[in-house]
């Protein structure tokens, strides 16, 4: 099956009360782990590439890896640009075959976010490509942007922003954040705000970034085998399940992939100090990505069997 637009995927997710996982990819093993999980669960998948991942792997390698991944997969798969920082990068991945892009103008003044998003929408829509935009600001670290504070998305402004830009889906800020340190105290999300936004834009797909649950087993494993990730805390899975049943159609997960791989590699190398064949540790790392993604699909996103 060729790469698809998320359009039908999101319509089904919205109507069916589940979400599709958007998993960040950087290399072959991560792509393989996610694809195997999708196949075993018969689930739709979004594989997303940040500008940092594109720089690391190279767009040509990513496209060829995706081509290989799709050869024996009978699944709907979207290839998405995560946190596109500017028009030029969105244009380049659209020209290269991505089926969906995010333009992230969330750090810009409101009017500038509108102008930039509109420009990307015009280019993308002429070529049948989906556009996700962001309004509001997540606390935490992204490659080039750091914010100490959340700026929660204003529901009325969200309606105006979507109307003015024509973006196809909207990432909102309701309390999640990127990385492994999401909450200092008790984790909570602003569901009232989410429901208000959903009520104002019925049928419109909402995106949740920063949605790793920071799986405690992998944090403990990483720390046990020489890591130092104290106080890591993610979004509890019951909150993510609740979000997945609402207008949230896409849930972004990167940190959990990083943690699963790193924890397993740390364990393997500590337990096998004489091993120096990368296949020795990349194989269990790939397996851990698959198991973690399967768990998300089945128990958190609710998209098992929805391919």
CB of 55 to ligand G3H, least distance (A): 9
The site that binds ligand 13P (CB under 6 A) totals a number of residues, namely 14
Chain residues that interact with ligand G3H, rule: CB under 6 A: 24, 50, 52-53, 82-83, 142-143, 178, 254
Bridge partners (DSSP) of residue 257 are none
- Which CB sits closer to ligand G3H, 24 or 262? 24
* Residues with active-site annotation: 82
**How many Å apart are CA 109 and CA 238, to the nearest integer?**
34
100 contacts ligand 13P (rule: CB under 6 A): no
Query: HSE (CB half, 13 Å, CA atoms) of 173?
Result: 21
Contact 225, 270 (CB under 8 A): yes
Quick one: 44 or 234, whose CB is closer to ligand 13P? 234
Residue 209 engages Zn ion in binding (rule: CB under 5 A): yes
Minimum distance of ligand G3H from residue 240's CB (angstroms): 16
Q: Considering beta carbons, is residue 143 or 160 the nearer one to ligand 13P?
A: 143
Q: In the Cβ-directed half-sphere of 185, how many Cα atoms lie within 13 Å?
A: 3
Whole-angstrom Cα distance, residue 153 to residue 163? 15
Tell me: does residue 24 bind ligand 13P (CB under 6 A).
yes
Site string for ligand 13P, 222-261 (x = CB under 6 A): ------------------------------xxxxx-----
CA distance 229 to 113: 35
* CA terminus-to-terminus distance, the chain: 12
Look at residue 211 and give the partner it binds from Zn ion, ligand G3H, ligand 13P, none, a contact being a CB closer than 5 to 8 Å depending on partner kind. Answer: ligand 13P
| Cα–Cα distance for residue pair 224/267, rounded to 1 Å | 8
Distances (CA, A) of 238 to 92, 211, 215, 232, 244: 38, 12, 13, 18, 10
Candidates 210, 260, 285, 293; binder of ligand 13P (CB under 6 A) is 210
Q: Least Å distance between CB 74 and ligand 13P?
A: 27
Q: Which does 212 bind (CB under 5 to 8 A by kind): ligand 13P, ligand G3H, Zn ion, none?
A: ligand 13P
In the complex with ligand 13P, the residue whose CB is nearer, 15 or 217, is: 217
Residue closer to ligand 13P, measured from CB, 149 or 274? 149
Cβ-proximal residue to Zn ion, closest one: 209
Cβ(251)–Cβ(19) under 8 Å? yes
178 scored as a contact of ligand 13P (CB under 6 A): yes
Cα 266 off chain centre by: 25
Name which of 201, 147, 187 is nearest 14 in CA terms.
Answer: 201
Interacting residues toward ligand 13P by CB under 6 A:
24, 82-83, 178-179, 209-212, 252-256
């Amino acid at each position: 099956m060729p790469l698809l637009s998320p359009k039908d995927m999101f319509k089904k997710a919205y109507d069916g009360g589940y979400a599709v996982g958007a998993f960040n990819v950087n290399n072959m093993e991560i792509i393989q782990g996610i694809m195997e999980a999708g196949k075993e669960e018969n689930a739709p998948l979004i594989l997303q590439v940040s500008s940092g991942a594109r720089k690391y792997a190279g767009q040509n390698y990513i496209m060829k890896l995706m081509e290989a991944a799709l050869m024996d997969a009978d699944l709907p798969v979207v290839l998405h640009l995560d946190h596109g920082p500017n028009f030029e990068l969105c244009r380049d991945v659209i020209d290269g075959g991505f089926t969906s892009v995010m333009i992230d103008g969330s750090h810009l003044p409101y009017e500038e976010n509108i102008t930039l998003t509109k420009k990307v929408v015009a280019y993308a829509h002429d070529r049948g490509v989906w556009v996700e935009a962001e309004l509001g600001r997540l606390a935490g670290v992204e490659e080039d942007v750091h914010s100490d504070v959340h700026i929660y998305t204003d529901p009325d402004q969200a309606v105006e922003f979507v109307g003015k830009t024509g973006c196809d889906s909207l990432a909102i800020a309701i309390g999640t954040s990127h990385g492994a340190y999401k909450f200092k105290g008790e984790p909570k999300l602003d569901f009232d705000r989410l429901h208000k936004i959903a009520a104002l834009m019925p049928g419109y797909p909402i995106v949740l970034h920063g949605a790793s649950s920071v799986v405690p087993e992998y944090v403990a494993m990483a720390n046990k085998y020489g890591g130092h990730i104290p106080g890591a805390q993610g979004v509890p899975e019951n909150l993510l399940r609740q979000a997945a049943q609402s207008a949230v159609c896409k849930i972004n997960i990167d940190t959990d992939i990083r943690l699963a791989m790193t924890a397993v590699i740390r364990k393997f190398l500590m337990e096998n100090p004489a091993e120096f064949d990368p296949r020795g540790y990349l194989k269990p790392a790939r397996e851990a990505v698959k198991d973690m993604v399967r768990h998300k699909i089945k128990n958190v996103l609710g998209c098992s069997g929805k391919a």
